Amino acid sequence: MSSQFGTLFRISTFGESHGGGVGVVIDGCPSGIALSEADIQVDLDRRRPGQSEITTPRNEADEAEILSGVYDGLTTGTPIAVIVRNKDHRPSAYDEMAKKYRPSHADYTYDAKYGRRNPNGGGRASARETIGRVAAAAVAKKVLATIAPEIEILPWVASIRDLNANVDPATVTFEQIESNIVRTGDPEMVDAMIDAVKAARADGNSLGGTIECVVRGVPAGWGEPVFDRIEADLAKGMLSLPATKGFEIGSGFAGTLLTGREHNDPFRLDEDGKVVTTSNRSGGVQGGITNGMPIEFRVAFKPTATIMTSQETVDNEGQETELKGKGRHDPCVLPRAVPLVEAMTALVLCDHAMRQRGQQG
């Protein structure tokens, strides 16, 4: 188990879907940052279930409590512990799942690794684990704002199954994305996407899709090659999120179809004499270091593994059997995954901003 992330802005998350609670300890946060529980709550509310008609109807209030590290409204430089109590206890919904391995879930692998697991609600493999990340990222965003005030981290739902949004990364706004319950930046796709999710749920089925993210206002010079390249740490951050299957930056997989002559980004000077590239197939990163252009990447999320359909599986006594999903689940995780992509991006960038000033002053 490794529930720690970051080098200087270092977080340690904990908690299962059932039990006392979930949360995070943030070690290394700079002092003097204005921070209140409300700053964290706003992002937890964007992550929480039950927020709209296309998410799970589970209602988890997810109230954040800051236990330490803040005095008189400002961070003190000491560890910030945030806890969120678990409230919605329904272990009975999971009795069958304690024995039968849910297909494409982590039940079997946790048993294989640890010889046991907390079978309620997915235990540590529950999406509820991400609360600690979102809480920590709320702090990371405030730190980033002191180092790079222009920075904007903007992820949106770029596709649900084969429904693709048409969004301009250069101009998309937080308000556009948050204006609809799908969290897509393309208003013309909202209804179709909502209908698709509702239809999947009605059918006991589920959907996947992609999230695209642009980060504008990043200074040139962040990233620590050769191993801790910005894109390497973003890839790790994204693939550490539940249900993710892929990551690509800039031209990504499609870029392999171009020749070098088509793919290279020419350097030019903008009207202020700043070095820019006239295309951005590099996705804002060259040689693992930001070049001052927007960071652009995409993340693939598989369709929700829990479906209300009988499936073939085995149990923990080595017998073949069948299992049908129970409980209340998101038929499509994409809308609620938008704040998660934002969170991991903020955690990666905040840590790199601090590492750059640690080494280079």
Beta carbons of 304 and 330 less than 8 angstroms apart: yes
Q: Which is nearer to its own copies, 173 or 357 (CB)?
A: 357
Q: H or E segment at 351?
A: helix 334-360
State yes or no: 346 annotated in a binding site: no
Q: Which two tokens stand for residue 307?
A: 């479906």
Q: How far is CA 136 from CA 123, 143, 153, 287, in A?
A: 21, 11, 15, 28
Cβ-contact 99, 316 below 8 angstroms: yes
Contact between 90 and its own copies (CB under 8 A)? Answer: no
SS3 111: helix
Residue 259 assigned ligand-binding role: no
Q: Which is nearer to its own copies, 154 or 157 (CB)?
A: 157
Kindly tell me which residue out of 151, 301, 341, 346 binds its own copies, with binding defined by CB under 8 A.
301
Among positions 169, 181, 240, 326, the unique one binding its own copies when judged by CB under 8 A:
240
Which residue's CB is nearer to its own copies, number 87 or number 174? 87
- Residues 33-62 contacting its own copies, CB under 8 A: none
345 is in an annotated binding site: no
Interacting residues with its own copies between 218 and 237 (CB under 8 A): 220-229, 231-237
Residue 183 is assigned to a ligand binding site: no
Buried b (16+ CB within 10 A) or exposed e, 308-339: beeeebebeeeeeeebebbeebbbbbbbbbbb
Q: Which residue has the tokens 């920590």?
A: 136
Choose the stretch contacting its own copies; rule: CB under 8 A; options: 38-46, 48-56, 170-178, 199-207: 199-207
Considering only residues 306 through 345, tell me which ones interact with its own copies, judged by CB under 8 A: 306-307, 309, 311-314, 318, 320
Kindly state the smallest distance separating residue 58's Cβ from its own copies, in Å: 18
Shortest Cβ 23–its own copies spacing (Å): 7
Residue 34 marked as a ligand binder: no
CA distance 291 to 113: 41
357 binds its own copies (CB under 8 A): yes
Does 92 carry a binding-site annotation? no
Host H or E run for residue 216: strand 209-216
Closer residue to its own copies, CB minimum distance, 78 or 179: 78
305 binds its own copies (CB under 8 A): yes
Which residue is associated with the tokens 């870029």?
A: 255
Q: Is 109 part of any known ligand binding site?
A: no
Distance between CA atoms of residues 290 and 306, nearest Å: 38
Residues marked as binding for NADP(+)?
A: 47
